[in-house]
Amino acid sequence: MHIDIWSEEFGAATDEPILLVMGSMSQGILWPDEFVGRLSAGGRRVIRYDHRDTGRSATIDFAAQPYTWRDICDDVLRVMDAHGLASAHLVCHSAGGLLGQLIAVEHPERVRTLTVIGSSPLGGGEGMVIMRALMGEQQPEGSLPEPAPEFTEFFRGVITAAPAANRREQIERMIAEERLLHGGALPFDEDASRKLQERIYDRARDLGALVNHRLAAAADPGFEPVGVLAQVKAPTLVIEGTHEPAKPGHGALIAAEIPGAQLLIIDRMGHTLPPEVHEELANAVLAHTAA
């Protein structure tokens, strides 16, 4: 099945290529323009894209043409192919980090380096940990650390809320979610958030189509192979904020499983990428992806 994927690139075609892979249900523009600009100014060819069923990429009739997270993972490789890249530096956020880890395991020749930000270890069952937390169920021994209480409380409300009545109400909900994911340690710029969420809302072909990512995850519960991270050969940088609300402590677990991985903890960062951390993030990625 042919899928149209929107992408854009910055920097010279001869520069070291970085492919930015955003998390589940997220548009590529959640990689902030300033952060992208710092990378391209540092001599990198930077590519960001919208996952299928987000932003300007194709929306799918899931009932007629169901897909899985394996297909979303294959889209990463398709974007690389479309830009003429046999390999690239993968910089991945949240669930995008799972995609990057899987590609590093199964297609090592395509990954020059791997950077995962605010993510969980492949095969750790992070989705089930969040689901059990939302249901108020006890986590089995050995499970990943569960989300912060404020995260669980917020998304319990999201699950039970009626659909937004209009654009304004939906954008207010999106701002509230960004505020929660921000982590609380750094000032939250509501005006900037409103502009971003309006942009996300207005550029989406079908904003509701992003829930297909949840259906895709449910359609392939075996998406994440267990016990394979020791196979990762790509130099790996793992980044987590001190105020990560969704996956607290997961970064250290990734770094512990991947041979030679480095762990960077960024003070006061939550699950988003606010301006206050762009310089440190960009410098770390530039150093990690230096030829």
What DSSP assignment string belongs to 13-74? Answer: TTSEEEEEE--TT--GGGS-HHHHHHHHHTTEEEEEEPPTTSTTSPP--TTTS---HHHHHH
Q: Is the confidence at residue 87, as pLDDT, over 90?
A: yes
How far is 163 from 177, CA to CA, in rounded Å?
15
Q: Contact at 8 Å (CB) between 286 and 44?
A: yes
CATH architecture of 7-288: 3-Layer(aba) Sandwich (3.40)
How high is the pLDDT of residue 221? 76
How high is the pLDDT of residue 218? 86
One-letter amino acid at 281 equals L
Q: Which of 95-109, 221-235, 254-268 has the lowest mean pLDDT?
A: 221-235
- pLDDT digits over 68-81, tens only? 999 999 999 999 99
Structure tokens at 114: 């791997």
| Residue recorded with tokens 């530039």 | 286
Q: How many CB atoms lie within 10 A of CB 284?
A: 18
Q: Contact at 8 Å (CB) between 91 and 117?
A: yes
How do the domains of the chain map onto residue ranges? 7-288
Mean model confidence pLDDT for the chain: 96
Band (pLDDT 50/70/90 cuts) for residue 207 is very high
Q: Is the confidence at residue 259, as pLDDT, over 80?
A: yes
Q: The sheet that has 262-266: what strands, in order across it?
A: 7-10, 44-49, 16-21, 88-93, 111-117, 236-241, 262-266
One-letter amino acid at 184 equals G
Q: 95-106 and 69-82 are packed helices; what angle lies between their axes, rounded to 10 degrees?
A: 70
Of the candidates 191, 290, 181, the residue with the CA atom closest to the CA atom of residue 241: 181
